[in-house]
Structure 1
Amino acid sequence: MPNQADHQQTLMSILAKLIDDNTQQAYGDVWQITADDSRLHVHLALPYAAAQEQASLEVRIKEALNDPRELTLDIEHTIEQHATQANLPGLKGVKNVIAVASGKGGVGKSTTTVNLALAMAREGARVGILDADIYGPSQGMMLGFADGTRPQVRDEKFFIPPSAHGVQVMSMAFLTTKDTPVAWRGPMVTGALMQILTQTDWDDLDYLFVDMPPGTGDIQLTLSQKVPVAGSVIVTTPQDIALLDARRGIEMFNKVKIPVLGVVENMSTHICSNCGHHEAIFGDEGGASLAKEYGVNVLGKLPLSLSIREQSDLGKPIVVNSPDSEVTGIYQSIARQLGATLAHQQEQQFVMPTIGMSDD
């Protein structure tokens, strides 16, 4: 019979070849095993948070190892600060800024942002949300903050962001009233965004999700040029017009050297509440074709669901209000894939153009 050390090495070899569902690549050398006659203790070190995957991963490990001993799985994550466009200096208290964008309004971008952020927090990461939609802030309502919520102020200079469900949040909604329109021109809006972003005392965040306004205007350009963004997520629906506008969003991020980490296809199918029939009323596989065109992944496809809308309107996002639902499972998968994609992407090389002169 092989000795204990040889057998343990065999088990390690099996685990190294196990496919990570979040990257579709082998895990590789990220495992440690300690064992005795009755128990196996498996330790997994990841560069992204994946706490909600523990149960399903335990099942996969047991099947792969085919070992009769009792299994204990310990998942550890270490989230690093990643490169940004033009190597801009990072924000104090924030490792990675993730922009969540759409080319047009009405595709569920803000709902996706709040549930994605909450899902990432449930995976074990430290998360914040910046509501960058100065004209139409909605994160305060979606997260159930009471009317009149205001951030505390430190040293008469820094906002201390309120928290909901373990997520730090800053929004223009906390600085105005719901009945007061923000009737500002572009420079005032971008100035307000930069003030909110840089004067908020973010507390040791792994990810700051920025809920972008729709389009490719002043706020998007200001964020792209002045804020260190590690990556972006594009939210779209399968409609041709939404895909057209989403394409513009991807092109904008490509021009400013911010990597697009993936596409989220919202309202992918309608599920009949009476019979359960699935119907692609907005088109089929539009997000997949867009992702293929630009060489990025579809992080997830979400149904057109009444419960997602209702719970968001009530300030109880579905990820925290229905944690065991199928939709929440999709958001959790998107969060893990997003973290894994950012962690595994190659560092972007930002090369300044060479300017040449000739007599021609």
Structure 2
Amino acid sequence: MLPGVPGILRVDRGLDPAIASAAVSPEFIKEALRNVRYPGFSRDIVSFGLVKGVTHENGVLRVHIEVATKDPKVPEQIFKDCHAILDALPDVGTVKVEIEVKEPQGAQGGGSEAVQGKSSIPGVKRIIAVASGKGGVGKSTVAGNLAVALARTGAKVGVCDCDLYGPSVAQMFGSHEKPMANEKDEIIPIEAHGLKLMSMGFLLEDRSPVIVRGPMATRYTQQFLRQVAWGDLDYLILDLPPGTGDIQLTIVQTVAVDGAVIVTTPQEMALIDARKAVSMFAKVNVPILGLVENMAWFECDHGQRYYLFGEGGGVREAQELGVPLLAQIPIDAQTRERGDAGTPVALIPAAEHPVSAAFHQIAANLRERVPAR
């Protein structure tokens, strides 16, 4: 059976069965497999629930793994890494790693239609992730203003701040209310500027840090997605944390994401991490809707542009990746001031401010690419 095609991939190799021992328990094997990472992520295959069965009988160790992917390199890498760990263990006997490759949820057809009707969030029609490989590139600014611009088109929009460690949606939308719960024990999102919002920033004091490890971060993320009373939304914008870690993979395994917008700044250091974000979404079959080059330049009062972080890096990267360049957003004092004040710049009519106009153009582009059903 070829990797990447739904079915069972079986290859046997291992130690002499004569040295195998019945003392090798499933718990011991699973603990060893925690050293096998899901390709492209920091989290292991056991904590993601990919290991479905472990047996050790008559000198034969069998490990059954299920992976939902269309990338044949993913099961191949997991297979190799599993054998690298298990073959080195004493007294396991013959090692048989069985990987069942399944079609990702809604993968038939590809593109934006791949997730049609597959959202696990009741009432939410489209889910768009805004991501970056690197922190400090203005991802939350883009996510917040994109949400406002989409709402100004008449769409019903929500924003889920998935950056648990550095939440910014509460400040950006000027609200410090504490969420309440309804009779179904669901969290009622905060409403501001016509949008529904959920963020760890609503649950904490300004100076309170979030100190949680991976499993707890996963739990909080799942609660924000599935235990919030979002109601009927045309679009739910996910403001992801920087990087390609546990929270990102939790999201794409929890809900069907219609597409991702990648935010970067022009310099190579940011572009390196943006490529990693693009590669991550490719591995989990989430289409890239486009790239936004933020902080593209600074324009003085006399009209001279200064390319503080380099010129055109996002343009070239979009061409190389074969994805649309959605916009180039300049460094703008009013954008920063309004973000700090809780009144995003996209609230200004597009005709009155160039940065607002850019966000409204992104929103129009995305509404065409990913129309609300």
Q: What is the CA deviation profile of residues 2-55 of structure 1, one whole-angstrom value per residue up to 9, with x for unaligned ones?
A: xxxxxxxxxxxxxxxxxxxxxxxxxxxxxxxxxxxxxxxxxxxxxxxxxxxxxx
Q: Which of the numbers 155, 158, 165 marks the counterpart of 2:193?
A: 165
Q: Is 2:119–2:125's contact at 8 Å kept on the other side of the alignment?
A: no
In 2, the alpha carbon distance for the partners of 1:287 and 1:267 equals: 10
Q: What is the CA deviation profile of residues 98-149 of structure 1, one whole-angstrom value per residue up to 9, with x for unaligned ones?
A: 0000000010000111001000111111100000001111000000003xx1
Q: Is 1:229–1:258's contact at 8 Å kept on the other side of the alignment?
A: yes
2:175 matched residue in structure 1? 145
Q: Does 1:317 align with 2:347?
A: no
Q: Which of the numbers 209, 213, 221 marks the counterpart of 1:193?
A: 221
Q: What is the CA deviation profile of residues 233-256 of structure 1, one whole-angstrom value per residue up to 9, with x for unaligned ones?
A: 000011101011000000000110
1:13 matched residue in structure 2? none
Q: Is 1:108–1:235's contact at 8 Å kept on the other side of the alignment?
A: yes
Distance 1:330 1:195, change over 3 A: same
Residues 65-144 of structure 1: pairs in structure 2 closer than 5 A:
83-84=113-114, 88-144=118-174
Secondary structure of the structure 2 residue equivalent to 1:214: coil
Q: Which of the numbers 171, 182, 185 marks the counterpart of 1:154?
A: 182
Alpha-carbon offset, residue 295 of structure 1 = 1.4
2:270 matched residue in structure 1? 242
Residue type of the alignment partner of 2:322: G
Q: Which of the numbers 179, 183, 207 marks the counterpart of 2:211?
A: 183
Matched residues, number: 260
Q: What is the CA deviation profile of residues 77-96 of structure 1, one whole-angstrom value per residue up to 9, with x for unaligned ones?
A: xxxxx645598443112001
Distance 1:85 1:241, change over 3 A: farther
Residue type of the alignment partner of 2:323: V
Indicate the structure whose relative CO is greater, using CA pairs within 8 Å and at least 6 residues apart: 1
Residues 345-360 of structure 1: pairs in structure 2 closer than 5 A:
none
Q: Does 1:233 align with 2:271?
A: no
1:282 matched residue in structure 2? 309
In 2, the alpha carbon distance for the partners of 1:93 and 1:326 equals: 34
Q: Is 2:214–2:246's contact at 8 Å kept on the other side of the alignment?
A: yes
Distance 1:271 1:309, change over 3 A: same
In 2, the alpha carbon distance for the partners of 1:85 and 1:338 equals: 16
Residue type of the alignment partner of 1:249: A
Q: Does 1:211 align with 2:239?
A: yes
Q: Is 1:311–1:317's contact at 8 Å kept on the other side of the alignment?
A: yes
In 1, the alpha carbon distance for the partners of 2:234 and 2:117 equals: 18
In 2, the alpha carbon distance for the partners of 1:105 and 1:303 equals: 18
In 1, the alpha carbon distance for the partners of 2:180 and 2:296 equals: 40
RMSD in angstroms over aligned alpha carbons? 1.7
Q: Is 1:120–1:335's contact at 8 Å kept on the other side of the alignment?
A: yes
Q: Is 1:93–1:201's contact at 8 Å kept on the other side of the alignment?
A: no
Q: Is 1:85–1:257's contact at 8 Å kept on the other side of the alignment?
A: no
Residue type of the alignment partner of 2:318: A
In 2, the alpha carbon distance for the partners of 1:122 and 1:89 equals: 24
Alpha-carbon offset, residue 321 of structure 1 = 4.6
Secondary structure of the structure 2 residue equivalent to 1:269: strand
Q: Is 1:110–1:211's contact at 8 Å kept on the other side of the alignment?
A: yes
2:331 matched residue in structure 1? 304
Alpha-carbon offset, residue 156 of structure 1 = 5.0
| TM-score between the two structures when normalised by the length of structure 1 | 0.69
Q: Is 2:120–2:226's contact at 8 Å kept on the other side of the alignment?
A: no
Give the share of equivalent positions with the same residue, in percent.
Answer: 47
Alpha-carbon offset, residue 322 of structure 1 = 6.0
Alpha-carbon offset, residue 267 of structure 1 = 0.5
In 1, the alpha carbon distance for the partners of 2:216 and 2:253 equals: 17
Secondary structure of the structure 2 residue equivalent to 1:248: helix
Q: Is 2:291–2:324's contact at 8 Å kept on the other side of the alignment?
A: yes
In 2, the alpha carbon distance for the partners of 1:281 and 1:181 equals: 32
2:279 matched residue in structure 1? 251
Unaligned regions of 5+ residues in structure 2, if any?
1-111
Residue type of the alignment partner of 2:206: K
In 2, the alpha carbon distance for the partners of 1:259 and 1:284 equals: 27
| TM-score between the two structures when normalised by the length of structure 2 | 0.67
Unaligned regions of 5+ residues in structure 1, if any?
1-81, 345-360
Distance 1:209 1:122, change over 3 A: same
Residue type of the alignment partner of 2:166: G
In 2, the alpha carbon distance for the partners of 1:122 and 1:338 equals: 13
Residue type of the alignment partner of 1:287: G
User: Where does structure 1 differ by over 2 angstroms across 4 or more consecutive aligned residues?
Assistant: 82-90, 321-324
